Structure 1
């Protein structure tokens, strides 16, 4: 899976890229089943953001899914995923963390517009997210919404414990509907969010955060057990490896 010149240019100009059919529909269905089986095992685990929390909003999530199912370990090193990441980040791609999100039917929680930057800021802003869709995600199911080109604004002042951006209404974001098997890659500086799931079926995704291993964190965040795993290329640094939770925050 290589990117065309047009795709690379689109990413550079807009801060995101929709890649249709990264996975086959059959693969997406299998990963969807893994996600819902995992959700059943871990039980109640609502992750609705504080700024939209309420009885009518729910969100099932799980960090570090590769430690819960071997299927996700294999997915992280799938060449179709890592090849696109290398085209954006460079030859060396390092895992930061993974998250599963399931927006349940009828009351799946929205994500207010935000940047991922405040959660794990880095010196060179190489951090990207890959959102892998295991269900169709049309607008009525709360698809991703973005502000194209906003990654060029740099870090923006955010509000609240969930670092949302009230100056960017969710309804004004550009919707990026996706099909099961599609992937969306985006800069962690891109202003983005997603709407509520008002449909009768779930919206199931895995989010993978990745970076250049030479891009140093300004402070630690989401210090997962898998952080630092090389998914493509090598870590060219000479110093001894340290786990995120062993380092002192700047």
Structure 2
């Protein structure tokens, strides 16, 4: 009598897909209660910063925002990052890419790692679908196997609206797309996709009547040094221990009405020992840092 087959877990399947293709989908990670809070957070941020397009709700905007930290440190998301990067884990960037109906901007073909200055590049992108993400409203598109490529500097592209103001080399993308094909990553709210920092991927403009919002999270092992100048220097330790002399991790932001939305557990949030003391603030206003980040994307200097 043969031994019973062991059932493969969702993370084991994701690891196999990631190894082969450079990306994977994990279904039903986040439940509706937290998704509802995330949607409320997006609406709150959009109302607070009407001068910004909703594709540009970058991490500097929410550096003092307790709900943002609560979301990126959710154990279900951190479990995914830790499975691939190890038990000592930090988040160095996360922002909502929210494509409004009818005129949501595309994100042209690119490699995430080309915009990050990390040494070594021991990182993972975890993309949480806040809304349904489909081919109609501009879902992610990925080229299987392209994670085996080295990193290439992106080319400036400002003749058409696009979130990154740049794109990967067109000949490279065409050659890989013809050989390997392109996969549309359609997700339901609460699903997660992950991808390698070298993977070629993009998303189309949203011309549909349905918004497409996702939270794009960059996790790193704490042994990875952040070497960017002035943009990714607010990492949050989300699990385990730091490595001496590598990065400095900031205290968690306090829950303060006016700095975030109310969320489940906000009444005890400030009791955590890692939370900053009252009155602790960043030196630069979040909107100013965000404007500087957008300008550096436009200049092509964000990875310096």
Regarding TM over 0.5, the answer is yes
Q: How does 1:128-139 map to 2 (within 5 A)?
A: 128-139=124-135
Contact 2:137 2:207 in 1 (8 A): yes
Q: Which moved more, 1:16-25 or 1:81-90?
A: 16-25
Give the RMSD, CA atoms, in angstroms: 2.7
- What CA distance in whole angstroms lies between the structure 1 residues aligned with 2:185 and 2:133? 9
Distance 1:158 1:240 in 2: 26
Higher CA-based Rg = 2
Partner of 1:30: 37
CA distance in 2, matches of 1:206, 1:123: 24
1:29 alignment partner, SS class = helix
The verdict on how the C-alpha distance between 1:34 and 1:118 changes in structure 2, with shifts beyond 3 A counting, is same
Counterpart of 1:54 in structure 2 is none
- Work out which of the residue numbers 24, 41, 48 in structure 2 matches 1:41: 48
Equivalence for 1:52 = none
- Give the equivalent residue in structure 2 for 1:51: none
- Which residue does the alignment assign to 1:123? 119
Which consecutive unaligned segments of at least 5 residues does structure 1 have?
A: 48-58
> Displacement of 1:41 after TM fit?
0.8
| Mapped contact 1:94–1:232 kept (Cα < 8 A) | yes
- 201-210 or 21-30: bigger deviation: 21-30
Instruction: State the partner residue of 1:164.
Output: 167
Gap change, CA 1:185 and 1:239, over 3 Å in 2: closer
User: 2:118, 2:228 within 8 Å by CA — same for their partners in 1?
Assistant: no
Q: Which residue of 2 aligns with 1:201?
A: 210
How many angstroms does 1:123 deviate by?
A: 3.1
- In the TM superposition, residue 74 of structure 1 has moved relative to its aligned partner by 1.1
The residue correspondences of 1:142-157 to structure 2 (distance < 5 A) are 142-157=138-153
| Equivalent residue pairs, number | 232
TM-score (norm 1): 0.82
For the pair 1:112 / 2:108, whether they are aligned, the reply is: yes
Residues 22 and 181 in structure 1, CA contact (< 8 A), matched pair in contact too: yes
State the TM-score, normalizing by the size of structure 2: 0.68
State the 1:61 CA deviation. Answer: 2.6
Shift of 1:83: 0.5
1:76-87 pair list within 5 angstroms:
76-87=72-83
Mapped partners of 1:224, 1:111: distance in 2: 20
CA distance in 1, matches of 2:49, 2:232: 18
